[in-house]
Amino acid sequence: MPQFNINVIIENKPTIRDPEGEVIMRDLMVKNGYTQIKGVRTAKLLKIVVEASSSQEAKQIVSKMCDELRIYNPVVSICSIEETGA
């Protein structure tokens, strides 16, 4: 069966503060001259290899798993799932 590379990106909902992103922007980027930077949000990336019959099925498996195993916390986080080339 073919394998598919699926990326899962977990980040805080837009309404939830992300102090790590705020510090990276303020204390690293803006303070060192990159004043064009107007927003930074940190996220967690899981690169997952899935065996499935199609890309569609691979994404469905990962999506179900993310909900079932609380890979992201639905109270404060959102999770997006995309297929990548490699």
Q: Is the Cβ of residue 21 or residue 57 nearer to other proteins in the bound state?
A: 21
CA atoms of 4 and 84, how far apart (whole Å) = 8
Q: Which residues bind other proteins (CB under 8 A)?
A: 16-17, 19-20, 23, 44, 69-71, 73, 75-76
Measured from the CB of residue 76, what is the shortest distance to other proteins in angstroms?
5
Measured from the CB of residue 63, what is the shortest distance to other proteins in angstroms?
17
Q: Is the Cβ of residue 40 or residue 55 nearer to other proteins in the bound state?
A: 40
**Residue 33: phi, psi to the nearest 5?**
105, -10
Q: Is the Cβ of residue 7 or residue 55 nearer to other proteins in the bound state?
A: 7
Among the residues of the chain, which ranges form H helices? 19-23, 55-68
Under DSSP, the state recorded for 26 is I
CA atoms of 24 and 27, how far apart (whole Å) = 6
